[in-house]
Amino acid sequence: LAKTTQPISMDSYEGQEVNITCSHNNIATNDYITWYQQFPSQGPRFIIQGYKTKVTNEVASLFIPADRKSSTLSLPRVSLSDTAVYYCLVGDGQNDMRFGAGTRLTVKP
Amino acid sequence: DVKVTQSSRYLVKRTGEKVFLECVQDMDHENMFWYRQDPGLGLRLIYFSYDVKMKEKGDIPEGYSVSREKKERFSLILESASTNQTSMYLCASTPSGTGGEDEQFFGPGTRLTVL
């Protein structure tokens, strides 16, 4: 299964768009890409999932280029409450999946 | 509202003790997972279970065992706790998939300290 690499941390300001990229160079054809958000003292929670191209929901967008060697989670107009750790997950849809080390996003006023 | 609960938020044990971490889900999910979470390493899968009494090793099963006697309950067991097992332990469940294709529902975690 593909190893995932994410930046350790990122800073942003309220109202800005934030893009967090996850690298998964050896991703297989059928692997899924999923992003989770984790606040302090809570378990991670699902944000968005994609396979290829672009997926958008009410909280985020996920961009996956044609070669699928990376994926970018995009958070529009972040607020202080978006301060959290964001994890990407690559899974084969059968019985193997692996989380990245997580990106700590700090949103400043 | 879906819910995964873990028996303790904080636990302090001594080296060599047998430790039980309990997880219960109320969503009738088929699959349950145990992870440990460490700074800089993210979440690493210890074991998962796809049915009652069925289990599979994850990436780091050494030093751990699991038990699933009922569908809603999944236990993580440290037979003889060691200091390098000090960590945050997270339980999760999914309705049908075990390969990342299903949304995972996580519990709040148990922070275990082994002295």
CB A44 to CB B107 under 8 A?
A: no
CB B108 to CB A45 under 8 A?
A: no
CB B98 to CB A95 under 8 A?
A: yes
Tokens of B99: 């390969």
CB B100 to CB A32 under 8 A?
A: yes
CA-to-CA separations, A14 to A2, A63, A84, A106, B97, in angstroms, rounded: 33, 22, 14, 10, 36
Mutate to test the interface with A, among B36, B44, B101 (most CBs of A within 10 A): B101
Residue B74 confidence (pLDDT): 98
Strand partners, A61: A56, A74
pLDDT, tens digit (0-9, with 9 covering 90-100), for B51-101 = 999 999 999 999 999 999 999 999 999 999 999 999 999 999 999 888 888
CB B43 to CB A90 under 8 A?
A: no
Helix H or strand E segment including B11: strand B10-13
Residue B2 confidence (pLDDT): 66
Given pLDDT bands bounded at 50, 70 and 90, which one contains residue A108? very high
pLDDT, tens digit (0-9, with 9 covering 90-100), for A39-69 = 999 999 999 999 988 999 999 999 999 999 9
d(Cα B42, Cα A8) in Å, to the nearest integer?
A: 10
For residue B66, give the DSSP letter. Answer: E
How high is the mean pLDDT of chain A? 94
Mutate to test the interface with B, among A1, A47, A94, A97 (most CBs of B within 10 A): A97
- Using CA coordinates, name the residue in chain A closest to B92: A43
